Structures are given as C-alpha cells and as structure tokens.
Amino acid sequence: MINISLPDGSVRSFERPVTGAELAAGIGAGLAKAALAIKVDGEMRDLARPIDKDARVAIVTAKDPDALELLRHDAAHVLAQAVQELYPGTQITFGPATESGFYYDFARAEPFTPEDFEKIEKRMAEIVDRDLPIEREVWDRARLKKHFLEHGETFKAEWSDELPAGEEITVYRQGTWLDMCKGPHLPSTGKLGKAFKLMRVSGAYWRGDARNAQLQRVYGTAFFDRKQLDAYLTQLEEAERRDHRKIGKEMGLFHQQEEAAGMVFWHPKGWTLWRVLEDYLRRRLDEAGYLEVKTPQLVDRRLWEASGHWAKFRENMYLSENEEGLRAFMDNQAQRIFALKPMNCPCHVQIFNQGLKSYRDLPLRLAEFGSCHRFEPSGALHGIMRVRNFTQDDAHIFCTEDQIKDETIRFCELLRRVYGDMGFPDFFVKFSDRPPVRVGSDDVWDQAENALKEASLAAGLQYQINPGEGAFYGPKLEFVLRDAIGRDWQCGTLQVDFQVPGLLGANYVAEDSSRRTPVMLHRAIFGSFERFIGILIEHYVGRFPLWMSPTQAVVCTIVNDADAYAGEVASALAAAGLRVETDRRNEKINYKVREHSLAKTPALIAVGKRDVENRTVAIRRLGSEKQETLALDEAVHRLLEEARPPR
C-alpha cells in the first residue's frame, strides 16, 4: 500500500502508484479542476507524475504561493513556441521564471520590434486556446543532442554536452514543440490563461559571457487573471513616475556618469539628505549602546583569504594590482596584493582582537558607516539602487551564544523604531538557511540556525523560509519593507556567524578562565545608504517629511521691496536650525511656486509689501493651493516644531 498524507492530517491509501491528477480527483471535482501541480515531500512536481511511495502530498492551486512561478515558467515556454512558429530559424536558449515575470533568450538575426510583440502575444493566446497537453519525457543524451542538431539548435546541442553524467534528462513537449527542461509545468497550455504581456527586449550573451554570441532577451510577465495583470501594469506606471533617477535630477540631489560607472556624485542637497539620515541613525545607535569605528579601505588579500571572503567574493573585488589609481601606493610593496574592502566584517574582527577581551566586555557592539566597493556587472547597475561603491550602516555584535536571544530582541526593537520613523511601519521577515557552498560543519550550522530561530521567536518575529540563501558563514534574517505602492525591498539583515571570528583568531576569556570564540552578529538596518535613499525617494515621490527634507523652506519675494525682509525671514529660520533658502529673483511669484514645487520644497514662504509692514509671512505647503498668513515669530515656531527629527 502507498500511504499519502494530506495537509489536513488525513491519510489516503492506494494499492498502486497514483498521479497527482488522480489524487485530486479522488478528493473532489472542484479540486481536480483547480489543480495545477503537486508537492511531494515539499518538492514541486507535475500533476501527471506518479507517486510510488509513502509521502506527504499537497495539491497546488492558483492560491499556492509557489503557483505563480509555475505559471510564469509555462509562459516562457509558450513564448518560445510562439516565436519559433512565427519566425522559423530562431534558436532558443534559456527561459526561466523571474521574480516579476519571465524571459527567454533567443538567437535571431533580426531585432524584435514592438510590432513583433503584438504578433507574438496573439500567437501565444492561440497556443493557450489549443490547450495542448504539456508532457514530461525522459531522454538520453545522444537522442537529445541529435534532435537539437537536426533542428538547427546549436546552442541547445552545446548545452546538452555539458549536462552532468548520470543526471536524468527531461524534455517537456507541448504539441510539436519541445524544450529540455527540469520542470515542473502546468498540465496543459490552456491552464496558462491570457493574463500575460511582453514588456521589453534587451541584449544578453550566451551563458552570460561577453565573449560569446549575443542574444535577444524578451521579457514578459504573467498572472492568473487580468485584474492582477492590470494592477501590476498600473504599479509599473506609478513606479516610473516615482523613478528615483528622474526625481533625483529634478531635485538636484545627485548624478551619475560613465567616468565613474556605478558610483554617485552627491550634490549639496543630496548630501544634506544623506547627513540628516546619518545623524538620525547615529543618534539611534548611540542610544542603543553601539561604539562607532572606522576601518581602512584597502586591506591585504591575506585577511580576505583567512576570513573566507577571497574565495567567495574575489571576482567582485577591486584589486590594487589592476587599478591604475592605486599603483603609486604599491611602489614599495610590489609583491603584495591589496583589495578595496567589499564588506566590513573582517576589519571589525581586527578591532576586537586588539587587547584581551573578557566575557564581561560582551556584548561588544561595533558600528561603522563603512564605504565598500564591489565590481557589479554593468548590466546589474541601476541608478543608486545598485552601485559599485556604497556605504553600509554596518555593525557587528560580538557576544556569547547565551546572549544571541537578547541581542536579537534589542536589534529588532531598534529596527522597528527606525523603520517606523522612516515611514515604513510594515515589514516582513525571511529566514535564509544554509547555502550549498558554505564553511563549517553541519553540526555548527545546526547550532547557528537553531539559535537564530529561537531568538526570532523570542523577538516576536514571524518569518518565511528562504531556503539556501544564507551567507556562506551563517544563517540570516532578511527584513523586507513594503513601500507606498506595494513593492517589497529587502534592506535590513541579521546574521548569526559562528565561523569568521574563529577563522580570524578572535577569542575572549570566559568566566571559567578558558579561551572561547565569540559569536558575531552581522546586522544592518538601511542595508546601504545609497539604496535606502533611492527607496525613500520613490516611497515619498521626493516629498520627504519636513525633518528629512534637504531644503525645508524657501523664502520667495513677491516684490523687490521685500528683498531685505526676505533675508531677515531666512536668517530667523536658519537661526532656529531650519534649512532655508531665499529666492529674490525678479520673477512672478507663480513661476517661483511652480519651480520650487517641482523641486519638492515642503514649505514656500512668500513675502510682499504688506508682510514687510506687518512682519508676517504667507506659508504655502507643497501640493496645496491654500496659504496661511502668520506672524514671523509664530511661523518660525511652527516650522521648527514640525521639523524636529523623531525622538
């Protein structure tokens, strides 16, 4: 007998192997109709795959969190079939589902156009209407390569040669079209529905190598119904309106240029915003018992080798031997290789290692606004959201294993307070466990993961498992914000590290006088200043709260006779601690209002001849047509109270 345990706790027994489709039908006709796939002991499988041994099985429907990825994977295959039907001779390569949709890479001499997209989408809809069964087949390597060569699929034939020996090779067929794929897939093309849209095309290289053939990557997205698709497209339109690059230019915050690709030129207003955030966070860290440090930018490779980072990050490090700007530094040390630090943790261990530490010194919380460099691929760069030079609000807590719980609770309280002050009261948490490539034994990983889970529960966190995405040295919590238009941004992290301190010789004297290795908690709240500022710009559409705004008020003259008084008003505001500018240009007040509104100035203060006589000002708030006339002293008091940073 084959015993199948269902999520509701019931068990169904069968005398022979049973498919997921048969299992769903046995439970009910409604479930059979809604079924898309099955999970067998947590592994997603096709509905037609037989279950031939005792297992825990769940029927996957459109309501399952993993179902959207399944749908989008099918959309990629239907896209590829449509393209090859419309444009014979086009070769297929790879086509996965992604976080926001799917893509497929094609080898085609002619570029795809918007008109092509219309034809392709129409043909995709026709393939859906055909309701072709999607069938899984197991092939041997020789048959697979022969098929692809006969059909002119040289890229696929090349890839078939590199599949690991002994690995089961599966092919998915829909009608006469097929592709090599691990699956799983929907039962038929009809299950895909028509809530899909092709979005754009970009260049890509075969196997991601610029030395190989260039391909065309067609991106699309898909949902289970048109309402979800329309909501997503509306969100994209809103995201375009909020694009931090566009708003950053309008507000004069920063710019970027090719001579420093992946770096940021901060303008005075942008740097003011940075300093406001840094001052705020530094105050919070001081209150929470952190000690601020500063570590070198350039560190000998031997430290990175000892910590394990060299093997992990070597390809993304800037090395002194390859950088013209650092050659002078190396004149007297030609045999040594230095690297610009891609992270701060090994350097913080060096500070911990200075002088003998006792258990009484723990926990020791070291914080740094650390400037790091990583050589990100040019295609991954995106405004200030993804850069090559960034500043982390980094900190490392050296503690005993018994202190992990309390330190996690303290950190989560700090993080909640900061996110609330920044305008993000809601966030969710992912628990990222051990990755395939890691350092340390499974026993130590068990210890670290259990400690972090217990601490998370003690801190009142509910989390979802993010399998295999932990750091190479330990598991981590990822804190994900949700912005004003519903997008998710992973920012904060808390990582439990039982590995790196020992690799770098860190120890302390325990209560029993023995030498022990401290646990190191890696933690960040913003993640990086650059990315967090980009998120803030888009969240607020540049309309920052008054305390955060780079320029809090602009005093605008209505007539030239008010020039001197405007200077007096600005001086009074500045003396109170407000960030203020004056605009005495010989322009109409409506022109000034439009210009400063575009620059997202929160408070516009107009002064005219009557204001000079009465020592009053007229305050207009950003986005409002109304204005309020106040005595100068009252206006200064109100703005000052409103502009106080969160306490």
Extract the annotated binding site for Zn(2+).
345, 396, 522
Q: Which of 345, 399, 491, 556 is catalytic?
A: 345
Active site residue 396: yes
Q: Is 39 a catalytic residue?
A: no
Q: Which residues are annotated as a binding site?
A: 345, 396, 522
> Is 392 annotated in the active site?
yes
Q: How far, in Å, CA of 605 to CA of 554, rounded?
A: 6
Beta bridge partners of 169: 139
CB atoms within 10 A of CB 613: 9
Q: Which of 30, 181, 213, 3 is nearest to 105 (CA)?
A: 213
- Which of the 8 DSSP states describes residue 512? T
CB 579 within 8 A of CB 552: yes
522 belongs to the catalytic site? yes
Catalytic residue from among 216, 392, 403, 495: 392
Residue 551 half-sphere exposure toward CB, CA atoms < 13 A: 24
Choose, from 45, 123, 365, 476, the residue flagged as catalytic. Answer: 476
Of 589, 572, 570, 590, the C-alpha closest to 580 is 570
HEC profile for 174-204? ECCEEEECCCCCCCEHHHHCCCEEEEEEEEE
Integer Cα distance of 623 and 594 in angstroms: 10
Residue 221 pairs in a beta bridge with 197
Residue 216 DSSP SS3:
strand
Is residue 470 a contact partner of residue 432, using CB atoms and an 8 Å limit? yes
Size of the chain in residues: 647
Could you confirm whether 216 is annotated as catalytic? no
First to last CA, the chain: 65
| CA dihedral of residues 488, 344, 289, 641 (deg, nearest 10) | -50
Catalytic-role residue among 74, 394, 433, 583: 394
Angle at Cα 252 formed by Cα 248 and Cα 254, nearest 5°?
60
User: Which residues belong to the active site?
Assistant: 345, 374, 392, 394, 396, 476, 522
